[in-house]
Amino acid sequence: MTQTPTARPMDGTAPARRITEESAEASAELRRRTGTAPCLATVLVGEDPASVTYVRMKRARCRKAGIESRHVALPASVTTAELVETVTALSQDPSVHGILLQHPVGPHIDERAAFEAIAPEKDVDGVTTHSFAAMSFGLPGFVSCTPGGIMRLLDAYGVEPAGKRAVVVGRSAILGKPAGMLLLARDATVTYCHSRTADLAAAVREADILIAAVGRPRFLTGADIKPGAVVIDAGYNEGNVGDVDFESAAARASLITPVPGGVGPMTIAVLLAQTVEAAGRQLGTAA
């Protein structure tokens, strides 16, 4: 059955480009004033092809924005202690202003311990307890990049969360959970759904704003979508496939993010913006 899409696509590439251009200007200004460019350290454990691609994309986007990057590649066999040591050294290195530890790091490593070794002022990826707490309390600090990118995308399309029912499918530490907290901070009524949710479909059908963040290809389809809902597909799966079946969901939604070209570019844009901001603070001039 073919359905006529009624949803407007929420293009993330244009707002991401605007944020990237602003970051490039701020980075250039910082370099003029201090003689130093912002520098992001990227840490990758192992050689998972998708992770290699994501980190390469992040570094390429840094380069485009006049942000330097320093890559640290560690073998999949690295221990928690060695990874923590590496991240701690970067936290103490004054020539590094931001740190991105690419998730996932492998099942034998305590990823949380490694994240916590990132100094709060360098946590431009928003993954530490410090950043999560600051975000939850509405204090200044760095947000997790994908949730931050989602909020900027909603703003770019004039979607007002206040009073809406937001349903977040997924509760991971750097995606689902913080995305719900940011929506709550904007006065949405937030429901988290996860693997133990009873009658997930019924919960999802209540969503005025639906955030798909489970990591299962095309897990949600049109039948799950409340007519007129805003659908944000934050899923990243093998082969660049989201968590939402775009065709069927677009027939019911009012706005829907494509994959690729939706949330992904916004994630990277927020990383760049927060890296420049961190560098500005560390170099003693607010960027």
Ligand X SMILES: Nc1nc(=O)c2c([nH]1)NC[C@@H]1CN(c3ccc(C(=O)N[C@@H](CCC(=O)O)C(=O)O)cc3)C=[N+]21
Residues annotated as part of the active site? 58, 102, 125
Q: How far is the CB of 167 from ligand X (least distance, A)?
A: 21
Q: Has 172 been labeled as part of a binding site? A: yes
Distance CA 212, CA 144 (A): 16
- What are 71's two structure tokens? 């890559």
| Helices 49-64/263-282 angle, 10° precision | 60
Phi, psi of 138 (to 5 degrees): 75, 25
Tell me whether residue 150 or residue 200 sits nearer to ligand X (CB atom). Answer: 150
- Of residues 274 and 282, the one with the C-beta less far from ligand X: 274
Answer for the pair 14, 161: CB distance below 8 angstroms, yes or no: no
- Is 242 part of any known ligand binding site? no
> How far is CA 182 from each of CA 130, 159, 170, 175, 226, rounded to the nearest angstrom?
15, 14, 14, 11, 22
CB of 13 to ligand X, least distance (A): 7
Helix (H, G, I), strand (E, B) or coil at 143: coil
Residue 56 marked as a ligand binder: no
Residues of this chain that interact with ligand X (CB under 6 A) are 53-54, 57, 100-103, 125, 127, 145-146, 174, 236, 240, 259-261, 264-265, 267-268
Q: How far is the CB of 240 from ligand X (least distance, A)?
A: 5
Binding residues for NADP(+): 170-172
